[in-house]
Structures are given as C-alpha cells and as structure tokens.
Amino acid sequence: MKDKVFNTVVKFMEDNQITCEETIYQSDKVIENAYEFISELFKIIENQIEELQYECDLCGQEYANLPEVCICGGIDCFIKFK
C-alpha cells in the first residue's frame, strides 16, 4: 500500500508539473486535478479504513470510528490515528 500511495503522489506531481510548493498555489491545474487525486488515494486505502483506530490527544479516549467531537469536550483536543 505504501508504494501505491507514493507512486500516486509522484504521478500527480509529474502530471501537474509540480516542482516546488509554490506551484501548488500558483497553478489552477493542480486544484482542478486534486479531486481525482484524492479519489485515487481513497481507493488505495478504503479497504483498510475499518481497521483504523482513533485517539484523542488530550484525554486519550480511544474510538473505533472517527467521532465528530470527543467525550472530553476539549476545545483544543485533536482526534488522531492511533
């Protein structure tokens, strides 16, 4: 999977002639093609999404699915991959 993600990113960069970070902001073509790029990345990982575990970085609460808000109610908490 790691190689597929890497190859997809490299292909997107080559296809959109991204040679530096500024190209991303200066080229409308990059944004136009971003939807398809994100879709391709999703297709690579979609079978493994159910296996992901999430955790609040503030209170440590673990979740099997990504919640909208944490039970701790922390304004500054961030739910991250475990």
Cβ neighbours of residue 34 closer than 8 Å, sequence gap 6 or more: none
Q: Please give the pLDDT value at position 75.
A: 67
pTM of model > 0.95: no
Give the pLDDT confidence of 1-33 residue by residue, as tens digits: 789 999 999 999 999 999 999 989 999 999 999
Q: What ranges do the domains of the chain cover? A: 2-50, 52-82
Mean of the per-residue pLDDT values for the chain?
A: 85
Q: What is the dihedral of CA 24, 27, 29, 34, to 10 degrees?
A: 20
User: In 16-81, which ranges are continuous DSSP H helix?
Assistant: 21-26, 28-45
Give the pLDDT confidence of 28-77 residue by residue, as tens digits: 999 999 999 999 998 998 877 767 778 888 888 888 777 777 777 776 66
DSSP SS3 for 55 = strand
Amino acid at 50: E
